[in-house]
Chains A and B, each alone.
Chain A
Amino acid sequence: DADVTQTPRNRITKTGKRIMLECSQTKGHDRMYWYRQDPGLGLRLIYYSFDVKDINKGEISDGYSVSRQAQAKFSLSLESAIPNQTALYFCATGNGQFPYEQYFGPGTRLTVT
């Protein structure tokens, strides 16, 4: 089984809809991250969490919210989706002892029409 899983893998939704992307990990890591990847822009950090009670905004948090339900679960929500949120979304986990190493999930391809 994969160490970092994301659901759904693909999603098409309409403008204005609320959508949640979910991430689960079995690596036992305390740190979890959400990134989005766009052609020509690379990977950009949306939110990160160092433990259940710690949530931090990243480079591009506007229009997104997150919830850390447990050490192993970190969800990303788009309260009212808009077309420019169409992107590939990745969840990642990390161990605080090794800040250079993050483990990425397989990604969720989100299309907002």
Chain B
Amino acid sequence: QKEVEQDPGPLSVPEGAIVSLNCTYSNSAFQYFMWYRQYSRKGPELLMYTYSSGNKEDGRFTAQVDKSSKYISLFIRDSQPSDSATYLCASAGSADGLTFGKGTHLIIQP
């Protein structure tokens, strides 16, 4: 079992909808929780990060971590076609390297 589990999708929603992306993790030592976005034929880029539990908001994006249930979420409000990409959740306990989920392929239909 991977330390970070993520449904690969694809997840298809209409433009303007609220998108909910989720991951679970198993390693209690993880302290940093990240969401990376990867467009086709590109490398991943950091979208948001959270340290320990709690919420973080950045424009249309909200990242949420619940350490008691080991659950990581990303919410996208007012979704746009340009949000279509693969979203990778990742966790880290230190700087050894990030542990990634498989990625969820998101499609926003115009």
Contacts and interface: CB of A to CB of B under 8 A. Distances in A.
Nearest to A109: B41
Given A104-B43, A105-B43, A43 B100 contact: yes
A77 B51 CA distance: 35
A100 B31 CA distance: 9
Interface residues of B, number: 26
A44 B101 CA distance: 9
Interface of A: 4, 31, 33, 40-45, 48, 50, 56, 58, 90, 92, 94, 96, 99-107
B94 A99 contact: yes
B101 A42 contact: yes
B44 A90 contact: yes
Contact of B34 (A41, A100, A103): A100
Contacts of B103: 42-43
Contacts of A40: 8, 102
B42 interface: yes
Given A96-B95, A100-B49, 13 more contacts: A33-B97, A41-B102, A42-B2, A42-B101, A44-B100, A99-B94, A100-B34, A100-B46, A100-B92, A100-B98, A101-B46, A105-B43, A107-B43
Contacts of B101: 42
Interface string B27-56: 000001110000001111110010100000
A69 to B, nearest CB: 20
B88 A48 contact: no
B32 A106 contact: no
